[in-house]
């Protein structure tokens, strides 16, 4: 089981996205993702998301807002992934050159036009609503095989 975070940093009607084109043997190769990564020992979800955003982008986010939890059974190498999804609109710092891909501010109206994982098209609109969500996304051979989402 893998625990991870995913964050969508927001600024003036745009979202910071990472085009995964640099890392070798990347399960996300060619996809556009929010930023985030795996927990380190002893971290809370907030600790993890703040550290990951700083490492991947150079930005220091403040007051990340938990929006939901995603479950990906057997996603990569047969492992289940549990992902805490955040948004953040307060930050300091300057973007750096990410080792995992190219960072870009994408207009919110254009997000769903990107080469995203199919399940991202389901939960990304939920980031705008009040409350929380819980989603379970099953992939088979890189394609979405089924999902369920609960809204709270």
Work out the average pLDDT over 105-116.
97
pLDDT of 61 strictly over 90: yes
Which phi and psi angles does 40 have, rounded to 5°? -105, 155
Distance (Å, whole) CA 127 – CA 123: 7
pLDDT at 108: 96
- For the segment 120-146, what is each residue's pLDDT rounded down to a tens digit? 999 999 999 999 999 999 999 889 999
pTM as predicted: 0.94
For residue 150, pLDDT over 80 is answered with yes
Domains and CATH numbers, the chain: 2-151 (3.90.79.10)
pLDDT band at residue 99 using 50, 70 and 90 as cut-offs: confident
Residue 36 pairs in a beta bridge with 6
Q: List the structure tokens of 135.
A: 């989603």
Q: Return the closest-CA partner of residue 22 out of 117, 76, 99.
A: 99
Say how far residue 48 (Cα) sits from the centre of its chain.
12
Res 5: pLDDT: 98
CA separation for the pair 88, 124 (Å, rounded): 14
Q: How far apart are CA 44 and CA 96, in angstroms?
A: 25
Q: Give residue 88's pLDDT.
A: 98
Average pLDDT along the chain: 95
Q: What are the pLDDT digits (tens) for 16-39?
A: 999 998 877 778 888 999 999 999
Which tens digits make up the pLDDT trace of 33-60? Answer: 999 999 999 999 999 999 999 999 999 9
The Cβ of residue 62 has, within 10 Å, a number of other Cβ atoms equal to 11
Percent of the chain with pLDDT over 70: 100
Q: What is the mean pLDDT of residues 69-93?
A: 94
């Amino acid at each position: 089981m893998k625990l991870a975070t995913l964050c969508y940093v927001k600024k003036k009607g745009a979202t910071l996205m990472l085009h995964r084109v640099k890392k070798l043997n990347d399960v996300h190769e060619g996809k556009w993702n929010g930023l985030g990564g795996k927990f380190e020992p002893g971290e809370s979800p907030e600790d993890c998301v703040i550290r990951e955003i700083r490492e991947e982008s150079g930005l220091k986010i403040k007051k990340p807002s938990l929006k939901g939890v995603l479950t990906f059974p057997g996603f990569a190498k047969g492992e289940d992934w549990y992902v805490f999804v955040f948004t953040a609109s307060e930050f300091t710092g300057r973007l750096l050159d990410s080792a995992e891909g190219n960072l870009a501010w994408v207009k919110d109206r254009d997000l769903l036009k990107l080469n995203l994982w199919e399940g991202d098209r389901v939960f990304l609109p939920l980031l705008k609503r009040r409350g929380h969500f819980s989603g379970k996304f099953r992939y088979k051979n890189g394609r979405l095989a089924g999902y369920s989402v609960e809204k709270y």
